[in-house]
Every structure is written in C-alpha cells, then in structure tokens.
Structure 1
C-alpha cells in the first residue's frame, strides 16, 4: 500500500502508548477518533493567546477570537461544499443537529397523518427525535426495509414514498453495518414527492469526500470528534431557504437582534440558531481538523480504508465461528466491521482484546432496532481509520484468534 499510514499515525500522541503491556491498536474510531498534534495545538493556542467571547467585544482578543471562530465556519463550508457559510450552523454534535431539525423544521411543517420515513439501521440519534416528533404531531413513523445483505432496500423506499411523506431521515453510512447509502439517488426520489431529506453524516464526513450540493440533501449533520476534532462541537448544514423559515430551538444571548419587553427579533443566519456563548475552542479545533484532513486528502483516506479492508477480509474469512454483519463485499462498505464469535459474549471479546492492547467496541451501538433485526442482543465492532496500519490489522486478527482460543480451550 502506498498510503503512508505510519507517517500519519505519528501525528497522534495517544497512539504511541502501551496498554496492558501491548502497543495500543485503537479500533473504536466509529465511536470517536483520536486527535492529531495540530488540533491539540490549535486549541491550546486559542486558550493561551486569544481566549475571549465572540461577536461581542471590540477589544483585540475578542476580535481575534471572532475572526478565528468564523474562519472555522468557512473552512467547514468549503469542506462540505455548502453554497455559503451561513448554511453552516455550529451545534454540540450530530445528536443536537438532528434534534434541531426535528424540533424546529418538523414541528412547524408536519400535520396529523403526515409520514416520516427512517430505516432500521439508524443510530438512536436519527431515530428517537423522529419518534418524539411523530408523537407530538400525530404523524406516522415508518421504516424502509433492508435487503438480506444489509443494504437499504431502494425498492422498499420507492414503494413507501407518497404525497404524505414529509421527512426522510437516513444515515449516509451505517455505524453498525458499514454500508454506504446512495444518498444522491435517494435525494432525487425524496424530492420527487416534495419531501425533505435529512442525513446523518457522522460516519461519512471523516471518511470520504462529501459535497452537500452534489448530494442534493436538505439537511446534513455530523460531529467534530469523529473527524479528528474535539468533542462538544458539531455541524448542521441546511439549505438557506429552509433555515430562514425555521425558528431557533434555543433562546438567549447572542442570537437576538432586538429585545423588547414582550417580544424579540432574531439575528440573521447562521447566528439566530447559536444562542449563548458557543464552543469557541471546539469550533477552532474543528477548523484545525478540517485543515488536517484536507492535507491528508479525503479521496486518499477513502481509498486507503478500502485497501485496508481488502487486506483484512481474507484473514477474517479464516476465523472459524465468526459472524460478520452487513455485506461481505468490501466494495459496499466502509471501514466498520461488526461481528460476533460463536459462544462468546461480545463484552468478553472486547475485554479479552483490550488485554492484548486492541481497543474495540461491544454493545448495541445505539442501534437496538437493528440489533433485533440481526437477532443479536449485542455485537463487537472494530472500526478503522487512516492512521491504522496493516500491522494494526495483523495484531487485531491475532488477538481475535487468541481470544477465541482462550474461551474455547482456556489457558494451556
């Protein structure tokens, strides 16, 4: 492989440590990614040199902080190819972004009997807000089917779309199955019925180029911490004509234009949605993460993850008693591998792997409806990123085999 994963790995201080007497192999990237020195330094520099509130003061530090904060918004705009920076709202993360859409757009536009379409592969963050919206508006929440392979069934989607459909909310990439949904094709189907498409992009933006205009999405949500940025910062992209008609979800300082005794007016986009002191350091850190990922290259990251999966797959196929969820064709999935070992609880697998220095996830992955469909109470999950190497893959497989041997035959 020509991609210099070893080079990039050196930018992440946390990855150099020893865990349980073994070199750390971090494979929980779908939950959160590690942070490169460039991002850590950007946050430190802000607090050491520019710490002040934004949009309010006229002193040097305040103006410096405001410039850096808004520069981060512009970086995100260009990163996802939004038409303008006003369409980029800073939130606490994907969950907050999706809740804003459900609360603001959804409550204003849905009537009893209207329909919301989601899929059974959705993360709870892209499911529970729509459940609550359906209850509040007396709308109907329906589910698009999956194929036997674990792909979104487009025939099911076509058959369910109707004039009653007002919102379709889907993941760009499943955090369990690893499948990449054809969002552009879906957007055209959805818009033919005049519904809006809301996309959970948490597992997509860090791993592949995303162009929200080319995809034709109406709303797109993602988190900084899954793309080598800090926690507590995220993005909601929305088309201007939709955002302008929406009411803010939170109220207070900074988002207002005028306040009278009995009523108030809001600032223009994007600030009318960003009440109170924002996560300034988080936004600046996110801007540094965008710079870093742009240097690495999203096309290169996507191609490398496919190569890494192609390297891993034959090794996994040789592990007896291993069940992999989602398509077995690596061309149809991202770097997420969700699995179970026969007769061994996923939490035991994850604990045993951790003792060998390999960090993976175990549980329902905030996708309980999907777990039920897969007939699994919980699963183990290894999720790879561009700083994972073939040596990491080898250590993962060796740890998996050792885990199976231990629980099958015990210590010799």
Structure 2
C-alpha cells in the first residue's frame, strides 16, 4: 500500500477549500537564486508558523461584516444582540473543543503570547516572590521563556529549565529534581515547535500537583493538530492560537481553571470588563469577560469557532494521523538523502514538523533556494534561541505539515533540498 493510500481522509477535497494552494510562486529551477517568479506551484510547508484559512472560515468573517456587524455587550438593538450571541457561543465552541467545563474557563486573547503574558502578569506578579521558582524546559518558545524570565526578574523568583536529552526529549529525571516544594508554576510546551517533541504533560502535571504547583501548557502546536483535553492532561492553564488551526490571525484562547481565574485580578482594564464603577473604586464583570477589556476581536472570535467546526468535521484523530504520516515520511526521506541533520525524536514519535540543517548550507540560504522551487519553509531559530544554542547551531530549516499537505509535497521538499545540497557541495 502506498503512503497516499494511507491518508485518513480525502486530502484533495480538503485542499479544494483552500484557494491559496493553487497559487504559482517561486522562480526558475534551472537558475536558482535569481529571484522569484510566478511559474511554480506553491508547496506550503510553514503551517507551524501560520496555517491557511479555508473558505468556510473566510465566509464566517464576511458574513459577520455583511450581516450583523455591531459591538458586543453594548446595545439592545438586534445587530448587537446577534453579534453578542455569536461571540459568546464561540467561547462555548472553544470550551467544548478542549474539554473545558464552560465558557467561564475560556478567555479570548489575540494569540498564545498574550495568553502567556496574561497569566504571568495577573497571577505571577501577585503570587511569586523570592524563594519561589518557576520551572520551564529548554525547548520553550520565547513567548513562555522570555515572559517568565522577566517575571522572575521582577519578583525575585528563580526560573529553572528542565534539560533536553540528546534525542530531543525532556529529561524527566531532571524534571523531578527541578520541581520541588518551592515551585509555584510549571510552564512547558506541549509539542515543541522546533524539535517536534510531544512532551508528557500529564506526567509533568502529576509532578507539579504533588508539590502544589500549577501547570501551564503551551498548546500552540498541539491543539491544532491532535485531540487535546484539559481534564486528561490535568493542566491548570492552556494557551493556543487560531491562526495555526485554520482560523484568522489576531485571536487565541487561554483556558484556565475557573477557581484560579476567579482569584486572579484583571490584566487589562477598561470597558466591558467592569460591573460597577465609581470615582473611588470598581468591581469586575463575571468570567470570562473580566479578562476581555474593550471591544474584542469579534469577527475573529466568531471565525475561530468556525475554524474549530471545520477541523472537527475532519476529525482530530484523523488530523493527528495525517500529520504523523507526513512527519514520519519526511523524516525518513530527508534522513535517507544524506548530508542532512535532523533535530528531535524519530519520525514516528513527533508532531507534524521536521527541523533540520543541510551540511555546508546555511538555513537561510536553503530557504531561499527552496523558494525558487515554490517550497515555503521557515528558517531561523523559530523563537527558540536558547534551544538552538544547546543544539550548537545558529539556525535551522523547518518544514511543517497540516491537513492539506500531501506526500507529493514532501517529495518536492526532499528533491529541492537535494538540489541545494548538491549546489553547495
């Protein structure tokens, strides 16, 4: 049976919902590096940075602006009522998607980074102090690492890092040493955006809770690509972004256990998050609105829900199976090519991305050459500079896959990488 025959769903039918995939880009493969042209089919392998948006989600945005564009929670006229209901129900959709108990546990943010900062400032500045510690991992995205690093500097709390093994996995023995009775928060990426490593969040949660610490999972790369249930993971906080899961930019979500969110003070102040205001004091609105000050991203929130409905129709188990298939295939094909160093665990034990370097070729040069072949990948440190320092490289190339990618596109990647390797040989 061919790899294509193992697809868990009709990939071509899915691709039909993404007109951008029909674009022609790149340049002349006979003269690589001479600048972009318009004659090469797009092979988009950068969904870990931003996924594409299907027609049903674009339609949801357009329908809001064309049919019931109004502010939420601010009017009793029909358009405001319709917008408010759709926006509130979007919270319900997100809550159901990750197994939260209700909309009270879902705060809309503009992305994963803002969700991290919300908790760090609203909870961390109030609760952390000298003698406390926050435990991260060496594979954290800057959104987590820099945020908790700066909170540590402000509060005097120590920031510790769980080491990564040579194979790209968390050293769980070291994790047990890092997490102690002074630990107040364990904040770890669920799926590494560089190594592809799927971290044992439930095991880390058990360790943290044994020491009465909270757990924050960065779900930016996991929630879009595999079934995620906050109860099964045992996390206290989870953050993710709409633009990595077929949704629009400018919208993300923070899950927080209701009792913790209730105890936290707001991060932003202004309209819609207040219940009563006097010249002397103010009181806050119920969850989740006390954390959503000002006019929110209404159209984006509604479209976020539409994106979830879209990928749920495909089935998250199917999305995971498809990503696993492509990641394993890409890992094996790149490994067989020769002269390619791949980072992270083997291809049958990772999320849907592969970071690598080609001997003698800088990652930025590789990305530029691949662009001439229409292949879009990311090159750089992927917002994980300390991890790249541990790997001993300044940058890496990263190909990431999603529900609309095919094995033929992986073949195009591998062929182009081979051409670049030979060009610099």
TM-score using structure 1 length: 0.97
Q: Provide the alpha-carbon RMSD of the alignment.
A: 0.9
Is 1:112 the equivalent of 2:127?
no
Residue 330 of structure 1 aligns to a residue whose secondary structure is coil
Question: 1:313: how far off?
Answer: 3.0
Alpha-carbon contact 1:165-1:195 (below 8 Å) kept: yes
Distance apart, 1:113 and its partner CA: 1.3
Deviations 1:305-346 (A, max 9, x none): 11222332332122221000111x223211110000111111
Offset at residue 351 of structure 1 (A): 0.4
Match for 1:143 among 156, 161, 171?
Answer: 161
Give 1:81 deviation, angstroms: 0.6
Query: Is 1:171–1:200's contact at 8 Å kept on the other side of the alignment?
Result: yes
Q: Which residue of 1 aligns with 2:14?
A: 8
Aligned to 1:353: 370
For 1:192, the equivalent position in structure 2 comes to 210
Deviation at 1:100, TM superposition (A): 0.5
Consecutive aligned runs of 4 or more in structure 1 exceeding 4 Å deviation: none
Secondary structure at the counterpart of residue 121 of structure 1: coil
Residue 45 of structure 2, aligned match among 13, 23, 27: 27
Query: Can you list the C-alpha shifts for 1:123-179, whole angstroms capped at 9, x where unaligned?
Result: 000111101111111010111111111101111011121111111110000000000
Tell me by how many angstroms 1:407 deviates.
Answer: 2.3
CA displacement, residues 200-244 of structure 1 (integer Å, 9 cap, x when unaligned): 100000000000011110000000000110000000000001000
Aligned to 2:354: 337
Q: Which runs of 5+ in 1 are unaligned?
A: none
Residues 1:171 and 2:199 are matched in the alignment:
no
Count how many residue pairs are aligned between Structure 1 and Structure 2: 407
Q: For the residues of structure 2 that align with 1:210 and 1:299, how far apart are their CA atoms?
A: 10
User: Pick from 375, 386, 389: which aligns with 1:372?
Assistant: 389
| Superposed displacement of residue 406, structure 1 | 2.0
Residue 140 of structure 2 aligns to a residue whose secondary structure is coil
| Pair 1:17-2:17 in alignment | no
Q: Are 2:295 and 1:289 equivalent residues in the alignment?
A: no
| Equivalent-residue separation in structure 1 for 2:13 and 2:331 (angstroms) | 24
Return closer, same or farther for 1:99/1:341 CA change in 2, 3 Å cut-off: same
Secondary structure at 1:318 match in 2: helix
* 1:394 and 2:414 are equivalent in the alignment: no
Contact 1:83 1:213 in 2 (8 A): no
What SS does the corresponding residue of 1:331 show, helix, strand or coil?
A: coil
Question: How far is the alpha carbon of 1:31 from its aligned partner?
Answer: 0.4
2:335/2:341 contact within 8 Å kept: no
1:400 Cα deviation after fit: 1.0
Q: How far apart, in 2, do the equivalents of 1:310 and 1:92 lie?
A: 32
Q: Determine helix, strand or coil for the equivalent of 2:243.
A: coil
2:188 and 2:216 in contact (8 A); partners too:
yes
TM-score by length of 2: 0.95
Whole-Å separation in 2 of the counterparts to 1:258 and 1:393: 57
Residue 249 of structure 1 deviates from its aligned partner by 0.6
8 Å Cα contact 1:92/1:234 also seen in 2:
yes
Contact 2:189 2:218 in 1 (8 A): yes
3-state DSSP of counterpart to 2:348: helix
Find the aligned partners of 2:140 and 2:303 in 1 and give their Cα distance.
28
Q: Please report how far the alpha carbon of residue 109 of structure 1 lies from its aligned counterpart in structure 2 after TM superposition.
A: 1.1
* Corresponding residue for residue 73 of structure 1: 91
CA contact (8 A) 2:356 2:397 kept: yes
Instruction: Give the unaligned 5+ runs of structure 2.
Output: 1-5, 27-38
Distance 1:315 1:143 in 2: 33
Describe the SS at the equivalent of 1:89. strand
Bigger shift: 64-73 or 315-324? Answer: 315-324
Asked if 1 retains the 8 angstrom alpha-carbon contact of 2:357 and 2:396, the reply is yes
Distance of 2:329 and 2:129 partners within structure 1 = 50
Shift in alpha-carbon separation, 1:347–1:135, aligned structure 2, 3 A: same
Q: CA deviation at 1:9?
A: 1.1
Report the secondary structure of 2:303's partner residue. Answer: helix
- 1:310 is matched with which residue? 328
